Structure 1
Amino acid sequence: MLKSIFCRKLIGARYYLKGYEAYYGPLNETINYRSARDREGHGTHTASTVAGREVHNTSLLGGFASGTAKGGALLARLAIYKVCWTIPSQSKVLEGTCFDEDMLAAFDDAIADGVHVISISITPYQNIEYTKDGIALGALHAAKKNIVVVASAGNWGPAPSTVINVAPWILTVGASSIDRIFNSPVLLGNGMKIEGQTVTPYKLNTVRPLVYAGDAEAPGTTTNGTTGLCLSGTLSQEIVQGKIVLCLRGNSTNVEKGMEVKRAGGAGFILQNPVDGIGVSVDAHVLPGTAIFSNDSATILNYIRTNKNPTARIVLARTVLGSKQSPFMAAFSSTGPNSLEPNILKPDITAPGLNILAAWSEASSPTRLFSDNRVVKYNVLSGTSMSCPHVAAAAALLKAAHPDWSSAAIRSALMTTSTQTNNVGTPITDAIENPATPFHYGSGHFQPAKAMDPGLVYDSNYTDYLLFLCNYNNTVKNVDPSFTCPTKFTSPSNLNYPTVTASFIKGEVLVYRTVTNVGAEGSVYNLSIETPVGYSVKISPTTLNFVRSGERKTFTITIKPENRVTEDDYAFGSYTWSDGIHSVRSPIVVR
């Protein structure tokens, strides 16, 4: 009997490829499985993060991140809807794509199957109208059935306005760090130590000659006007043989660069971090190698240029726990403001997404390189794909604890109880150690235990979302033909959202919010405001008295620019309702 219980973790698995095959033709079954089985690894990783069983003595490649692995919602059951497929490509690494029509078909089935939470670690390349976006449309139909939809914010940060999946009925998740690093420094021949990180198991403890990839490119190779990138087929075996190679970022994946150094006979390589900042996304390279902070590549290059016989040694990596400061925002995590509707703050929240260990498909290598024959049960990956299932797991736990709560209430509970400070008690920073803002983390870093008892929630329903869509060229008829928009539309700022955003203020702006008491009877909440610089914020009333649980109270927020505010300036603040036990915090973003 015990065995049968454990076999019921996975209770459904479907796959969808009509859209894919309509575009690419018959599925290439040498690089795909015509089934719900995971060929690539990404789906296994995210699914196990949500609800994987507890497994002891796990690690990557015999030692990295060793310990007990388990999903966030340990006892939740999984239904899998495979919508992404590997595409025929000239690339040396597995690449995939997902079609809207396949995702919409999966949404339809998931809704009909009665799932409670949908976790979507998929991001389009850009935002499009809500009624033309497959994920947004599918999520809206899920919201109608009170299914919580959690989605990734995208990996195009830190540039502004890169956040994806911005529909207000989706919980959009950014990526931040955890307090674990994989330390593998570089020791230069001049005695300088350069910090680096990797999950590469290969040893290279001897000192080796050091060369810059731009000085080691074979004559006649094509680099498209760039140099030093360790692009496939560009390195000279005569120059690279037995040496450590410094490779710059760009134009190919990190693991492809390592494969090129290995092809040319290199002993190891040093990789410039693909994005600026203190967070390093690690890889299980096919030869000794470590990734360094972006700005440290100039230090190493200067050492190479100023020494006749530059040398280096790569120290074997080790797992280090208790790293300070954590969390900080991953540099790749996409940021606001919302490019589709600037009066809705996105992302909503952040969660661990940098160097996350989770289960892996044994049909794929840890690098996903076709030429890598290693097999692992667990892998370390980075991305908002990794942070999304953390929050989906928390949503599943909330749904189990509060089955009568709406999907909006669950999203609200997670957002209003999040934190904006790190493990040393200072404000969360971005990847270059500047203070992060709501455009990085939304409401903050999630705190699932606190979300279980948020005190108050901001609730919304399907009709509220249709009213929100009325602002966009009356496209609601394309979504729900039975719904008629009112003659006068309300501002998007007035959607009953757990955050407040008011863009392009000219004069005074009045915003309405309603909170529902999900705490004790007789609760009294008092107000505190952190006013955005250059604005005044008044909220009325300043005290909310709740006689019973489930009671609703409405208040108004008046925002007015002052002190020579310029049109392009964003300012950030917050307001918090507190009864002495609960602190219900909402960011304020104004422009």
Structure 2
Amino acid sequence: MAYLKLIGARYVNKGYLAALATANITNVTVVNSPRDEDGHGSHTLSTAGGAFVPRASVFNFGKGMAKGGAPRARVAAYKVCWPPINGSECFDADIVAAFDAALAEGIDVISAFLRGDPTPYFNDSISIGSFHAMMKGVPMVCSAGNSGPSYGTVSNLSPWILTVGASTMDRELANWIIKNMWYFIMVIARLTASSFENFISLSILKGQSLARTSLVAGKFYPLISAMSAKATNASSGEGQLCKAGTLDPKEVKGKILVCLRGDNARVDKGQQVALAGGVGMILANNQATGNEVIADPQVLPASHLNYTDGFAVFTYINSAKSLKAFITPMTTRLGTRPAPFMAAFSSRGPNAITPEILKPDITAPGVSVIAAYTKAQGPTNQLFDKRRVEFNSLTGTSMSCPHHEQTKISFIVITARTEDNMWEPIPNASNMKANPFNYGAGHVQPNRAMDPGLVYDLDVNDYLHFLRGLGYNQSMIVLFSKGPYACPKNFAITDLTYPSITMPNLHGSITVTRTLKNVGSPGIYIARVQKPTGISVFVKPNVLKFDSIGQEKKFKLRLKVKKGNAPKDYVFGRLTRSDRVHHVSSPIVVEAV
């Protein structure tokens, strides 16, 4: 690929072919090639290591200098996922073989855009493969998954993996919906002062899209709900979702349809409207997706609205007949506020396998990310799309994962930020305050991560102690370790020097130990604690003095449930040590019982 310093590409599919040989499937064609057939690999790899490309854009929007997180890196691609066999695309044998190949070929950092259901570490190919990478000093970065906003959905849970959630950025690919001005003039005399204000706010609504085409300038089009245009044999619910075969072309032709988000792909809804003769689409979020608005490469003029504005549009449509609207052409907006906020799809904690380890670890931009794309697919990744692009806008934790190319998990975690660009707490997609189960330690700050001051340093033995603390026996541990290892008699997994402090099922009090290592200049670090509600926190010693680089200091942190004030759910706080130059910050997560 012209935008990558690609030094190699391999495909690994022996495990897949073995499964295919025993499956009763005849319509699967396997091309023995590392070529990217669906665009996902090209996009993520260029996000991680794409070279500098001036004037990159999608349909001439979002134009600017494109580059990956490490633009001068040399990259290698390992293809391990193939057409589904009974729902499975990526097989353990192939994943482990790809790890072996990458480590044998001297890879320095591995990003894996793979995820599955949470499973014990000894039964998880990514956990095992990444452990062997960690033993060779190769860090591993994985996506948290796209199963949010439900709790306990996060995947890639091993403490030796940096697990990344997805949040927005301060760039929008925006357009506006303008209501029928003539109707506005006709009804204005009948509105009260309060409803006049509401009506004004609903007259122009901002959405996002990435459509190449625009409506005829200044021309207003009939606006209807997709429910009103459903086919005779379709249910109201399916019609409102704009599913295939649910729309009546006689009702749709020449109109802008309002479709509800959910079930089928967002770009498929636009295609169904276009096939039925619609001129445009307004895509309204459901309550679960809230403020998560995505710029999709739609095949017709469209605008994606958040839940509040989408609900207002449905209310507006139901208030009168013969309404009209106009969708403006797109524009690129930079420096938008507030940003970031957490994407609704981003999988959330707590960790379903080891709740003492906070996951995700961090969040990064994963919504409407522009990066390189394959020409084997159209930008919607749908069969109907015959367009071809060099760059595309994609959304998912796979897009946020490759933003991290650091050598230590701790460097990134302890330097993260929990405020948006208005210095308010990062919200979730429902405009409520997010928490560490959404974003881990916070939003990545690459420049700060280059000079963290202190780190929570972990090595292979620490992780082996952790596995032993989980109750793993030698036959399980041999999957991770190359040989026998002498385990301590007693090791509490809560004492793993992880850069976050998580305590589920806390009854009474507990004291945990952590070790900090100086990786900067000498300094005196003073602790400051933001206490979780209903929890007392004591740090000893409160002051740590480091005289030289590499020096290590231990400290203890005691958590105690306040009598008569025990919280009924997880509560969150923060421990920060600062020398006034560096701010070494760790989330505190507690569940009292």
Q: Who is 2:113 aligned against?
A: 121
Structure 1 residues 480 and 567: CA distance shift in structure 2, 3 A: farther
Q: Amino acid of the residue matched to residue 320 of structure 1?
A: R
- Asked whether the 8 Å contact 2:519–2:550 carries over to 1, the reply is yes
- Asked whether the 8 Å contact 1:466–1:476 carries over to 2, the reply is no
Distance 1:79 1:138 in 2: 17
Distance 2:26 2:251 in 1: 39
Deviation readout 1:27-80 (Å, 9 max, x if unpaired): 99997642111111011001111111101111101x210011111111111011
Deviation readout 1:185-205 (Å, 9 max, x if unpaired): 222224522221101121114
Q: Who is 1:85 aligned against?
A: 82
Q: Who is 1:412 aligned against?
A: 410
Deviation at 1:486, TM superposition (A): 4.5
Matched, 1:136 2:149: no
TM-score where L is the length of structure 2:
0.90
Deviation at 1:19, TM superposition (A): 2.4
Distance 1:489 1:249 in 2: 51
Distance 1:583 1:305 in 2: 53
Structure 1 residues 567 and 32: CA distance shift in structure 2, 3 A: farther
Counting only pairs closer than 5 Å after superposition, residues 252-401 of structure 1 correspond to structure 2 as 252-273=264-285, 275-392=288-405, 395=406, 399=407
- Asked whether the 8 Å contact 2:140–2:160 carries over to 1, the reply is yes
Deviation at 1:253, TM superposition (A): 0.5
Distance 1:311 1:28 in 2: 50
SS in 2 for 1:509: strand
Deviation at 1:235, TM superposition (A): 0.9
SS in 2 for 1:295: helix
Distance 1:376 1:8 in 2: 16
Q: Who is 1:493 aligned against?
A: 494
SS in 2 for 1:211: strand
Q: Who is 1:533 aligned against?
A: 533
Distance 1:515 1:264 in 2: 63
Matched, 1:69 2:66: yes
Structure 1 residues 221 and 24: CA distance shift in structure 2, 3 A: farther
Q: Who is 1:508 aligned against?
A: 509
Deviation at 1:11, TM superposition (A): 1.2
Q: Who is 2:205 aligned against?
A: 194
**Further displaced range: 11-20 or 342-351:** 11-20
- Asked whether the 8 Å contact 2:416–2:442 carries over to 1, the reply is yes
Runs of 5+ consecutive residues of structure 2 not aligned to the other structure = 185-202
SS in 1 for 2:506: coil
Q: Who is 1:98 aligned against?
A: 90
Q: Who is 1:110 aligned against?
A: 102
SS in 2 for 1:464: helix
Q: Who is 2:572 aligned against?
A: 572
Structure 1 residues 159 and 292: CA distance shift in structure 2, 3 A: same
- Asked whether the 8 Å contact 2:4–2:46 carries over to 1, the reply is no
- Asked whether the 8 Å contact 2:178–2:326 carries over to 1, the reply is yes
Deviation readout 1:439-490 (Å, 9 max, x if unpaired): 1111111111111111111111222212212244425523417445747442
SS in 2 for 1:325: coil
The one of 214, 235, 247 equivalent to 2:227 is 214
**Further displaced range: 327-336 or 484-493:** 484-493
Distance 2:537 2:434 in 1: 22
Q: Who is 2:248 aligned against?
A: 236
Q: Who is 2:193 aligned against?
A: none
- Asked whether the 8 Å contact 1:474–1:485 carries over to 2, the reply is no
The one of 416, 420, 424 equivalent to 1:426 is 424
Deviation at 1:290, TM superposition (A): 1.3
Q: Amino acid of the residue matched to residue 11 of structure 1?
A: I
The one of 6, 11, 14 equivalent to 1:15 is 11
* Equivalences, count: 562
SS in 1 for 2:240: coil
- Asked whether the 8 Å contact 1:28–1:88 carries over to 2, the reply is no
The one of 158, 181, 190 equivalent to 2:149 is 158
Deviation at 1:20, TM superposition (A): 2.2
Distance 1:577 1:476 in 2: 38
Q: Amino acid of the residue matched to residue 103 of structure 1?
A: I
Distance 1:78 1:28 in 2: 35
Matched, 1:183 2:174: yes
The one of 155, 171, 177 equivalent to 2:162 is 171
- Asked whether the 8 Å contact 1:504–1:567 carries over to 2, the reply is no
SS in 1 for 2:511: strand
Q: Amino acid of the residue matched to residue 62 of structure 2?
A: A
SS in 1 for 2:404: helix
- Asked whether the 8 Å contact 1:213–1:227 carries over to 2, the reply is yes
Q: Who is 1:3 aligned against?
A: none
Distance 2:103 2:153 in 1: 29
Structure 1 residues 425 and 297: CA distance shift in structure 2, 3 A: closer
- Asked whether the 8 Å contact 2:534–2:566 carries over to 1, the reply is no
Distance 1:88 1:254 in 2: 25
Q: Who is 2:435 aligned against?
A: 437
Deviation at 1:96, TM superposition (A): 8.4
Structure 1 residues 8 and 351: CA distance shift in structure 2, 3 A: closer
- Asked whether the 8 Å contact 1:194–1:296 carries over to 2, the reply is yes
Deviation readout 1:285-336 (Å, 9 max, x if unpaired): 1111111112333222222222121222111111111101111111211111
Deviation at 1:507, TM superposition (A): 1.4
Distance 2:369 2:493 in 1: 36
Q: Who is 2:555 aligned against?
A: 555
- Asked whether the 8 Å contact 1:195–1:293 carries over to 2, the reply is no
Structure 1 residues 411 and 29: CA distance shift in structure 2, 3 A: farther
SS in 2 for 1:319: strand
Deviation readout 1:518-541 (Å, 9 max, x if unpaired): 112x42222211111211111111
**Further displaced range: 365-374 or 429-438:** 429-438
Distance 2:54 2:98 in 1: 33
Q: Amino acid of the residue matched to residue 71 of structure 2?
A: L
Deviation at 1:207, TM superposition (A): 1.2
- Asked whether the 8 Å contact 2:174–2:330 carries over to 1, the reply is yes
Deviation at 1:222, TM superposition (A): 6.9
Runs of 4+ in 1 over 3 A off after TM superposition: 24-33, 86-89, 481-489, 565-568
Deviation readout 1:539-560 (Å, 9 max, x if unpaired): 1111212232111111111111
Structure 1 residues 470 and 527: CA distance shift in structure 2, 3 A: same
Deviation at 1:261, TM superposition (A): 0.9
SS in 2 for 1:412: helix
Q: Amino acid of the residue matched to residue 281 of structure 2?
A: F
Deviation readout 1:222-269 (Å, 9 max, x if unpaired): 78x644111111111111111111111222101111111111111111
- Asked whether the 8 Å contact 2:231–2:239 carries over to 1, the reply is no
Distance 2:279 2:452 in 1: 54
Structure 1 residues 226 and 540: CA distance shift in structure 2, 3 A: same
Distance 1:372 1:75 in 2: 33
- Asked whether the 8 Å contact 1:467–1:489 carries over to 2, the reply is no
Structure 1 residues 7 and 54: CA distance shift in structure 2, 3 A: closer
Deviation at 1:88, TM superposition (A): 8.0
Distance 1:74 1:506 in 2: 49
Q: Who is 1:405 aligned against?
A: none
Deviation readout 1:126-158 (Å, 9 max, x if unpaired): 211111111111111111111100000111222
Distance 2:10 2:98 in 1: 8
Deviation readout 1:411-466 (Å, 9 max, x if unpaired): 10111111111212222111222222111111111111111111111111222212
